[in-house]
Amino acid sequence: MMSQTLIGGFSSLTLWPPSYSNSSCGRTQFGQHPVLLRRSGQAGAIQSRRTAKIIASSVRVHCSGKDGNSFTVAREGSVSVILLAGGKGKRMGASMPKQYLPLLGQPIALYSFYTFSRMREVKEIIVVCDPSYKDIFEDTKEKVQVDLKFTLPGKERQDSVYSGLQAVDSGSELVCIHDSARPLISRGDILKVLKDGWENGAAVLGVPVKATIKEANSESFVVRTLDRKTLWEMQTPQVIKPSLLKRGFELVKREDLEVTDDVSIVEHLRHPVYVTEGSYTNIKVTTPDDLLLAERILNMDIGGPSP
């Protein structure tokens, strides 16, 4: 019997084959293939609702502040950011794509754009957008010190990422892919995922799932209740070494695969992906309610920078 996975409020879900669990603050392990998680110790009262990935593979969880590890990140000018800004945003019901709607007087897409532009690790920002919105970013040139490039969006997300990848500088050591509809990404979370991406080849921000999630069959009867300790909601940025991402795309195109997020491309290579624990405030603005929530977070001085 064909089964589906249900999660309240989430649009998509990936279920990895479950194995065994041995949980503690320090470490949790499942199965054979390593997917490493980092706990930041940051708590959030805001629950995001979009895309989740259920992880039940080999997992190691580190609790920050307890392991005493030094914090090293990518070299200066070694990161290419692909900023995805080509979505239509139909669920917002607005006259323009959601990422260009004003958030406290500034287009949503510019919040993360400015955050990345002020990081010494970032060499360039490649904006994947419709040409009619290029001026929003071009008008910032006097305020930013990074190289600015543009590419056209594709039909699907993976096509837009591939379009951006073609413009990445040949000397870049990391590709950092971010959804411009997530305006509240913090510099600290970016640094953590860059570090983990450099050390492991691929890393993605995520937060532990809060809701109870059940797996149901094709007739909508519950099959089982999933263990929340193994479930993580994926966010962006997603950081991947360029050579690895290129090999992943070669495989995806050769086998005509469809992927729902960027690190899924690497997963098809059976390469381990590190999940860096992020912040619940890193919401994706998709609906009018999300926009109100983002305004509230910014008014509480938690959000991203302005020019």
Question: pLDDT per residue over 35-54, tens digit each?
Answer: 444 444 443 333 333 444 44
Q: What is the largest CA-CA distance in the chain?
A: 59
CB 148 within 8 A of CB 127: yes
**What confidence category does residue 245 fall into, taking pLDDT thresholds of 50, 70 and 90?**
very high
How far is it, in rounded angstroms, from Cα 300 to Cα 278? 19
CB atoms within 10 A of CB 217: 12
The structure's pTM equals 0.76
Q: Are 53 and 233 in contact (CB under 8 A)?
A: yes
**Contact in structure between 198 and 121 (CB atoms under 8 Å):** no
Distance CA 213, CA 216 (A): 10
pLDDT tier at 301, thresholds 50, 70, 90: low
Give start and end residues of each alpha helix (H) in the chain. Answer: 108-117, 134-138, 157-165, 187-200, 242-254, 262-267, 288-299
| Average pLDDT value over all residues in the chain | 80
For residue 251 the two structure tokens come to 């495989």
Banded model confidence at residue 307, pLDDT cuts 50, 70, 90 = low
Higher-confidence residue of 295 and 258: namely 295
Q: When comparing pLDDT for 69 and 234, which is higher? A: 234
pLDDT band for 87, please (50, 70, 90 cuts).
confident
| Residue 22: pLDDT band with limits 50, 70, 90 | very low
- Decide if 182 contacts 284 (C-beta within 8 A): yes
- What are the φ and ψ backbone dihedral angles of 269, each rounded to 5 degrees? -85, 0
pLDDT score recorded for residue 251: 94
Cβ pair 268, 101 in contact under 8 A: no
3-state SS of the chain: helix, strand, coil percent to 5?
A: 25, 25, 50
